[in-house]
Structure 1
C-alpha cells in the first residue's frame, strides 16, 4: 500500500479541523429559545423557570362526574401552566367557552391575546377562555406569553388536533365559541380588533354578556 506523503496528511488534518470549527461556530438561525442564558430546543423538556416566568393560570379541570361531548371529546392536551394532561372537552363541560387558537410566530395573535385577557377578566366566571398554542414549540409559546404578560390558561396542541376536530381552516388566529354542551356555536376565522369586538361576538353567539 502506498503511504500518503506527510505534507498531504498534514493538509488533510488541517482541512478537517477547519471544517469542524466552522460547524461548531455556524449560526443556528434562531431555531433555539434562550432562557437565562440556556439554549432551549423545541424538542427539549421545558424548564420549570420558563413556566414560572410565564405565570399562567391553571387549566380548567373536569368535575368528578364530567363527561366531554362535542367535537373535542376524547382530546387530551398538555397544560402550558404545569405540563399535566387535560381532557379538553370534559374540562370545559357545563359552561360556554372561547378557545383561541394561536402560535408564537403569528403577529395578529400577539396583538389579540391581550384583548382576550382583558375580556376574560370582564366576563369572570360566565365563560371559560382557553388559549390553544397550535405549534409544537412550547418554549417559544411560553416566552411570548411572558413577554405579553398574558396569563390566561392554555394548552399545547402540537399536532393541531383542536383545529382538525372543529374543521376550521389552517390559518391563525381562530377563535372557537363552544356552547355548554360542547357543541360549536361559531368559529371566528379572523383576529378580534378589541375587547368590545370579543364581547359583542360572544354575546351574539353564546348569549354571554360581559
Structure 2
C-alpha cells in the first residue's frame, strides 16, 4: 500500500524539479546563441581563409557606402576599341560588379570590357581575412609601381562598408576595388573558396595565371605576374 506524500515531500519534489529545469535552460543558452550568431571565418593550414556563409541580414553593396577616399574603377578610354580587342574566350565578358571604392557605382560594361587592352591583376579579398590585411598594402604598391597594368581588388563579402573601412584602416586608399555581395566573381571564375587569391588576365581578357596564396613582398608578386604575362 503506497504512502501519500507529506507537504514536506511535495516541497522537496518542487525544488528538485525547478533545479533540473533551470539547469537545462542554462545548458541550452550557449547552443541557441551559437546557432543564431554569425559564422566565423575558418582558417586553412595554408594560411588562406574560407569565406563565411552570407547571412540574411548582411549589408548589401546596394546600400550607401561611406568613404573619405573615392577611387574610380578602370574604364577604357574608348569602349568600342577596347571591346574589339577581347577574345571570344574572355572569362569575365558577362560579369558586372559595382565599384566598391567609388560608392558602389555600377558600370554599364562588363569587367572584361573595362579592363580590355591592358593586362589586369585581380586580388580577391575580404574584410575579415587576416592574410588579406597583410597583403592589401602590397597590392596597392604593385598598382603604383605598374601603371601599365590594371591592378584591382574584388571584395568578396556582402558587408561592403566593412571592406571600405578596412582599406581606410590599412591606408590602401588608392587601390580600386569592386564589391561582390553575391559571389558572382568566384562563381564565374571557379577560383578556390579561399582568400586571398590573385588572378592575372591578358589584355584580351583570357586568364594567364592564378595564385591561391599570400604574397609577402611586392618584388616577388611583381616578378611572378610579369613572368605569367611573358614580360
Task: Specify the alignment match of 2:71 in structure 1.
Answer: 57
CA pair 45-90 structure 1, distance change in 2 beyond 3 A = closer
Unaligned runs of 5+ in 2: 1-35, 40-57
* Structure 1 segments of 4+ aligned residues over 3 angstroms from their partners: 28-31, 43-48
CA distance in 2 between counterparts of 1:64 and 1:85 reads 16
Task: Specify the alignment match of 1:42 in structure 2.
Answer: 59
CA distance in 2 between counterparts of 1:47 and 1:77 reads 15
1:140 aligns with 2:140: no
* Displacement of 1:85: 1.2
* Displacement of 1:158: 1.2
- Alignment equivalent of 2:199, drawn from 169, 176, 197: 176
TM-score (norm 2): 0.67
Q: After the TM superposition, which residues 1-210 of structure 1 pair with which residues of structure 2 at under 5 Å, given as runs?
A: 42-43=59-60, 46-47=63-64, 50-51=66-67, 53=68, 55-62=69-76, 63-65=78-80, 66-67=82-83, 69=87, 70-80=90-100, 81-86=102-107, 87-124=110-147, 126-151=148-173, 152-208=175-231
* 1:50-104 CA-partner distances (Å, limit 9, x unpaired): 22x2x14211113330325511111111011132113211000010000000000
* Displacement of 1:43: 4.0
CA distance in 2 between counterparts of 1:181 and 1:45 reads 30
2:62–2:104 CA contact under 8 A, matched in 1: no
* Displacement of 1:161: 1.8
* Displacement of 1:137: 0.6
* CA RMSD of superposed structures (Å): 2.3
* 1:121-165 CA-partner distances (Å, limit 9, x unpaired): 1112x1000100011110100010110111211100112222222
1:56–1:150 CA contact under 8 A, matched in 2: no
* Displacement of 1:45: 5.5
Between structure 1 and structure 2, the one with the greater Rg is 2
CA pair 129-112 structure 1, distance change in 2 beyond 3 A = same
CA distance in 1 between counterparts of 2:208 and 2:61 reads 37
* Displacement of 1:185: 0.4
